[in-house]
Amino acid sequence: MGRGGGGGGRIRFRASKSGHAPESPDELDRRLRNSTSKFAAINSGCFYKSDGMFCPERLTDYYCVMWTRGLQLEDEELAVAGGQLRGVGNATTTQPPTWAVVAEQQLQAADICAGDFIDESILQANCALPLILVLVGTLLNLLNARVAIGYCDRQLPVCFYLVVLSAVDTIILYYRQLDLWLQSVFDMRLTLSLMMMDESACQLMNMLYSILYHFKAMLQIAMAVDARRLVVRPLRCVERYSAEWVKNSLILMCVILVLINGHHLWTLALVKESSSGEFDRVYHCGWGATWPVTELFTTWLWPLTDLLIGDLAPLFVVLWAASSGYRHLWRCSRFGRRRRNVDTNSDGCLQYTCSKSLDYHIIDRRLFRSVSQSLLACSLTYAALQSPSAVHSCIMYVRFLSASLAAQASGARDLGQFYRPTNDEWRLFIGRLCSAVQPLTNCLLLLLCVPNYRHDAARLLNPGRLRWTKCLRRCQRATADGDARAENISNNPTIVGKFPAAVNVMSVNRKQRTLLTAV
């Protein structure tokens, strides 16, 4: 054992000697200072939206956000302009002085930089709204996840979708709304500045957000379809549906979405625009030249895939599942009065004829029905709130596609003369607001539609009050049982004849309790 221990020590010594030595605190401090200064320099630059480009970035709503240091009056330029101004003297000339030209260019750059996100002025004016949405959404999602975990143990594995959806909604809420709050309060574009700091940050941030967005869409589809199955075929779903099925489906979704969005790691890069006009060093996060990205991929394959998975498929599938489920509930309410005389194999009365079978499989049948119906309401609300974002994405892609076809037909390489992205302020505000309200709807609808959910949420929020309420109800129940027994004893002539004094004391005590209860 001694030799083995010595060998292990030598191996560890050699590994530490041949590997990377730990960095000193001074080196770490220097790197941190460099990163901080670089972030400050990027954040102080000019961000503006390009009018003639289409970028595959959901973080920027398919706009190509350009970064440049802008035109600033450097010391050398000021010195040259001042020298030429002094050389002019009192002579009259038709040419404007150099300092005026520089100042005019500076004003043009300032106009572009000031109007870079002019269509988001409503969002930036309401600086308290993003912070309120973040705080309220975090609390509601935590509450929703905690209550839904308890329902997963009651043979309702569909609630596991709510747990995962709460986590994804919270991450997306922080991803978008916290950045908007920092932008409106501190004038700090955190996401855009981090994307411009490094090429890997540009790739990873866009890939992670795209995976989260697509994963949320797939979760909504799976939850809507399973909720419809629980409403239409409850007994069959209870017998064959399990938590393992839900977990395996989620793992399969993650693997497929990582494979689909993995191209961001080699197709995206920090691109320097050569045709920047009067601006110098203009960069944006877009399609890079390190990998042979074809025009078929950039124009057709990836934009259509992104639009289908993120917007169109969840919208139409969720609408179909929710409408089909509510149609079945309407049929059940229509045939509910005649359910004893209807064939038991009919789909219209299946929810009523299998009640005893559901009692065998499920602890609380009323909870099962209310949760299934409320999940349909959550799915329908998601479809309604998702429609503005889907309309915006479709309009952006259709304009880009028509501009690409027009540029190909005319033989022009520059897309700017054909493509003009939409900058509708109110449509962007409505789309952002609907996306921010989405994480709040699931918990609110469950609180509104499910009585057991309200009870469990109240128990989590205020366990002491619920404990005292239970004790009070137990005491009232015991008092009522004692009064009933005393009434039976007082009405028994045999006991009254043998123990008249005891019966009189019991009746007096019962009257006193009645008076105290009334008071």
Question: How high is the pLDDT of residue 216?
Answer: 94
Question: Tokens 């992104």 — which residue?
Answer: 306
Higher pLDDT, 202 or 44: 202
- Percentage, residues of the chain above pLDDT 90: 15
Question: How high is the pLDDT of residue 166?
Answer: 92
Higher pLDDT, 503 or 110: 503
87-91 contacts at long range (C-beta below 8 A, 24 or more positions apart): none
Determine the average pLDDT of the residues in 241-264.
Answer: 88
Of 320-334, 344-358, 375-389, 468-482, the range with the lowest mean pLDDT is 344-358
Question: How high is the pLDDT of residue 474?
Answer: 62
Integer Cα distance of 243 and 360 in angstroms = 18
Determine the average pLDDT of the residues in 282-306.
Answer: 81
Over 50: is that where the pLDDT of 95 sits? no
Determine the average pLDDT of the residues in 370-376.
Answer: 86
Determine the average pLDDT of the residues in 109-133.
Answer: 59
Over 70: is that where the pLDDT of 462 sits? yes
How many of the other CB atoms lie within 10 Å of CB of 499? 13
Under the banding of pLDDT at 50, 70 and 90, the label for residue 468 is low
Question: How high is the pLDDT of residue 218?
Answer: 94
Provide the whole-model pTM.
Answer: 0.73
Over 80: is that where the pLDDT of 235 sits? no
Higher pLDDT, 291 or 479: 291
Higher pLDDT, 70 or 4: 70
- Percentage, residues of the chain above pLDDT 70: 58
Q: Alpha carbon of 89 to those of 86, 92, 119, 182, 355: distances in Å?
A: 6, 9, 46, 49, 100
Integer Cα distance of 191 and 47 in angstroms = 12
Among 113, 66, 416, 71, which Cα is nearest to 270's?
Answer: 66
Of 44-58, 317-331, 384-398, the range with the lowest mean pLDDT is 44-58
- Average pLDDT of the chain to the nearest whole number: 71
Determine the average pLDDT of the residues in 179-183.
Answer: 80
Determine the average pLDDT of the residues in 13-31.
Answer: 49
Over 50: is that where the pLDDT of 84 sits? no
Among 53, 66, 61, 36, which Cα is nearest to 180's?
Answer: 61
Tens of pLDDT, residue by residue over 129-143, are: 788 888 999 999 999
Higher pLDDT, 33 or 148: 148
Determine the average pLDDT of the residues in 183-194.
Answer: 80
Q: Alpha carbon of 12 to those of 2, 7, 16, 23: distances in Å?
A: 15, 9, 6, 18
Question: How high is the pLDDT of residue 20?
Answer: 44
Question: How high is the pLDDT of residue 118?
Answer: 44
What are the backbone dihedrals phi and psi of residue 476, each rounded to the nearest 5 degrees, phi first?
-65, -40
Over 90: is that where the pLDDT of 66 sits? no
Integer Cα distance of 176 and 10 in angstroms = 51
The terminus-to-terminus CA distance of the chain in angstroms comes to 83
Integer Cα distance of 458 and 465 in angstroms = 9
Question: How high is the pLDDT of residue 479?
Answer: 57
Over 50: is that where the pLDDT of 116 sits? no
Under the banding of pLDDT at 50, 70 and 90, the label for residue 422 is low
Of 341-355, 435-449, 490-504, the range with the lowest mean pLDDT is 341-355
